[in-house]
Structure 1
Amino acid sequence: MSAEKRALGARLRAAREAPPFWSRPEMARRLRAAADPRDLPGLPHVPALSHMIKEWEAGKHVPGARYRRLYADATGQAEDTLFGGPLGTPPTPRAYELPGIAPLAGEELRARLAEVSGRRIGAGIVADLAARVHGLRLADDVLAGRDLLVPAVRELENAQRIYRHSSHDERTGRALLTLIGEHAQIAGWIASDAGQHVRAEAIYRLGIDAARAAGDHTLESNLLGSLAYQVANVGDPTESVKLAHASRDALAPDAPARARALVWDRIAWTTARTQDAPATIKALAEASAALAEAGHAEDDPGYLYWVDAGELQIMEARAFTELHRPLRAVPLLAEVLGRYDATHARELALYLSWLAVALADANEPEEAATVASRMLALSADVASDRTAVRTQVVLQHLRPFESSPPVAELLRSAPEP
């Protein structure tokens, strides 16, 4: 075994064990998540890839070009840093850094950095950052991920640079860390909607670190729940249940009622994805009970503004669809869609997709095709990975009914994956 292989193995292990300390199976999952979906069939599954990682870290073998690229994407480090830099060079720390982040751009942001660089800042800058992050949340209500990703990531980077390059007292520092966490939550959500799931997870974990450093347990819980939601949809549903319960455990006993309702909402979705019906039904009941205790929304953190009875009803309908209980799901979805604002095209398309699936499960293919047609028309110009994925799910549920003329016509005109 050469010294060069041992040094490379040490770098790879250090990259894996840097905070937040990934296990070998987790590293394997991240390498697979970083791959182009078209390449996944040619990659080893997690157990075999975990063994390969062990061999690489022991210096017995050297990763090939394909795995070098995946390592760079998964860890957010330059490929040369891990594989081509000087021997013994430690990996770049991941804390408060983002992979592939856009450079700071625009005269407004440059002026802001010049304004705060080296200066002592206070409530004015904090209030401005709070207004900007809430503006992103409101924009996400009507715009999709690929439309918002660049400004969202730049705002997050701006918040980090203000924290790093200004002088502030301890109270302001904690407020800035909280706002970094809030920016990370919405930027991670937007990155996920844009289909950049590896990047989204890195952003979420950055936010979790920031929230913990600020001592903001409610925000930490919200970030863990957001990550659990993504993993439930694109990763290992069993792992998502663990993350959702970690989100619940992070909450303080005096957490806002809407925060507790949101935690149970996430648990309901992750357990529905694992087909655990009793746990899902319990979680839905807990979410409703928590929301019943909610006071005035203006007393809660701004990121909880959307948690209300209507949103819990949507989750209940989605959960019952996932559990293949269309008799429970269809009436709920029909009621929700009857009052939903048509300006929210992405959400409306997503909810129509759940209704189409529930109708197919209820053996109503013609009605499902009608709903699916409306969903496809709405989502045609929506720059969202979520709607693209749901489109394929709907079409998959309709294919067994190809003998039905309306279904056959829909499948002929549907977009290719």
Structure 2
Amino acid sequence: MSESERRQRFGAYLAQLRRRTKKSQRQLALTLCDSAGITSITRNEVSRWERGERIPDLWLPFLAAALGAPLHELERAAAYARNEADGVLPGPNATLAELLPESELLAPRGALRGRRLGTEDISSLSARAHALRLADDVLSGGDLIAPAFRELHAVVRLYQESTFSEDTERSLLIQIAELAQISGWIASDAGRHADAERAYGLGISAARKAGDRTLAANLAGSLAYQHTNTGRQREGIDLAHAAVEEAGPDASAKPRALFLDRVAWAHAKAGEAQPAIRALGQAHEALEDDNGAAAPTWAYWVTSEELDVMDARAFTELRRPLRAVPLLSDVLARYDATHVREVALYRSWLAEALADANEPEQAAQETRRIIELSGDLTSDRTAERTRVVLERLGEHDEVSEVRELLNDYGHLLLL
């Protein structure tokens, strides 16, 4: 890794710590000036640190106090940026490229083999993958990325270093693919998109090697969803359609509905109303048209309620608030409140739809609820959605409720 990349990683680490304290760059600069008794630290200086252009050596003790981070960790991270021997970036920031170098990814097995794996080992791996999925229902990507990466790293090593029958090998490859999917999803939520893409790619390879086309389609669809949400709409559309083709007509109802929903979302984000609405209808038909095939465990969360949410999100993106608002209001009235990130995300589309429906007062009220809900979340998605809604409400700054909201939380647009 080059010096420039190490400095950028260090800067990203500082930015992550700052966001967790809910401070803007300007607020952090003011805090540092107050604690150091000087006036020379500005928002621009903090920005330079976070871009990796400078290392704030003299200010590390003050940063540790302002960010609530152990000084020794900041010092080791700074040493990492300078490429000193004792430098290391804290564990949650390790990339999959470092944890899973290319030489390890499903490479041919070597001559030195470890213990023999069997059914009980596969069952344990399956339970751990599902535990990560359930944890993702109630925790954010920033909280889960370190354990997710460790699990994925461990199962790839297990594949490399163990012996097993052909049937067990196929089952193990499926567990690699399932862990890669949930790890990629978690990394994406944490804003680690390159790591997510790498995890999805590993999972697709493992699923195809195991002959599980539906699982491969889920990984491809997950990557399509990330592309769609990160400005790569055309790639998202193509990959979402490819996922539907990969799964084929014999996939069970829940996966087929999920893959069609991702097609709908990709078209909606691109502003293509007709194919989006057509795919939404096909997703509902797929869920109702049960062909008797058992749904995989990873599709447990795909329900008619979740399809309603996707309908509403798509209608919001297509600026059809009269269709979006009733659907979201109904779903949110009965949605599991322990799924805080999803509630915050869904309320963000409700707020945006209300703004489109010329109800800025209600939209401002919903946005306050979103910010209150998501204040402790380490989710890049909720942070981005909050910024989108605040920017949208900026078009209604003549409304007193909106002005007050922007006065209180406009700094979030700087994060």
Structure 1 partner of 2:197: 201
| TM-score after normalising by structure 1 | 0.72
1:179 aligns with 2:175: yes
Aligned to 2:208: 212
**In structure 2, C-alpha distance between the alignment counterparts of 1:295 and 1:143, rounded to whole Å:** 34
Residue aligning to 2:161: 165
Q: Which residue of 1 aligns with 2:239?
A: 243
CA shift for structure 1 position 293: 2.0
Residue 280 of structure 1 is matched in structure 2 by 276
CA distance in 2, matches of 1:395, 1:253: 42
Count residues with an aligned counterpart: 311
1:272-313 deviation line (CA, Å, top 9, x unaligned)? 01111110111001000000023789x321110001100000
TM-score by length of 2: 0.72
Would the aligned equivalents of 1:102 and 1:154 in 2 still touch at CA under 8 Å?
A: no
Provide the rounded CA distance (Å) in 2 between the counterparts of 1:337 and 1:124.
40
**Are 2:309 and 1:311 aligned?**
no
For 1:346, the equivalent position in structure 2 comes to: 341
Moved over 4 A (4+): none
Say yes or no: does 1:98 pair with 2:93: no
Q: Is the 8 A contact 1:147 1:383 kept in 2?
A: yes
Instruction: Please list the CA deviations of residues 62-100 of structure 1 after superposition, one character each: whole Å capped at 9, or x if unmatched.
Output: xxxxxxx9xxxxxxxxxxxxxxxxxxxxxxxxxxx9313
Tell me, in whole angstroms, the C-alpha distance in 2 between the residues paired with 1:312 and 1:284. 8
Q: Which residue of 2 aligns with 1:378?
A: 373
Does the CA contact (< 8 Å) of 2:252 and 2:292 recur in 1?
A: no
Matched letter for residue 124 of structure 2? D
Structure 1: unaligned runs, 5 residues or longer: 1-34, 37-68, 70-96, 104-115
Q: Does 1:133 align with 2:109?
A: no
Identity over the aligned pairs, expressed in percent? Answer: 54
- 1:303 partner letter: W
- Is residue 102–residue 153 contact of structure 1 (8 Å, CA) maintained in 2? no
User: 1:404 is matched with which residue?
Assistant: 399
1:361 corresponds to which of 340, 356, 365:
356
For 1:370 and 1:177, locate their aligned partners in 2 and report how far apart those are by CA, in whole Å.
47
Partner SS state of residue 255, structure 1: coil
Deviation at 1:236, TM superposition (A): 1.2
Structure 1 equivalent of residue 385 of structure 2: 390
Provide the rounded CA distance (Å) in 1 between the counterparts of 2:303 and 2:116. Answer: 39
Name the amino acid aligned to 2:355.
Answer: A
Q: Offset of 1:254 from its aligned partner? A: 1.6
Aligned residue number for residue 257 of structure 2: 261
* 1:102–1:150 CA contact under 8 A, matched in 2: no
2: CA distance, partners of 1:295 / 1:125: 31
Q: Which amino acid aligns with 1:160?
A: V
Instruction: Tell me, in whole angstroms, the C-alpha distance in 1 between the residues paired with 2:400 and 2:132.
Output: 43
Q: Secondary structure at the match of 2:99?
A: coil
User: Quick one: which amino acid aligns to residue 337 of structure 1?
Assistant: L
C-alpha distance in 2 between matches for 1:130 and 1:284: 31
Give the deviation of 1:235 after TM superposition: 3.0
2:219 is matched with: 223
Query: 1:15-34 to 2 correspondence within 5 Å?
Result: none
Q: Which runs of 5+ in 2 are unaligned?
A: 1-10, 13-51, 53-94, 102-111
Shift of 1:344: 1.0
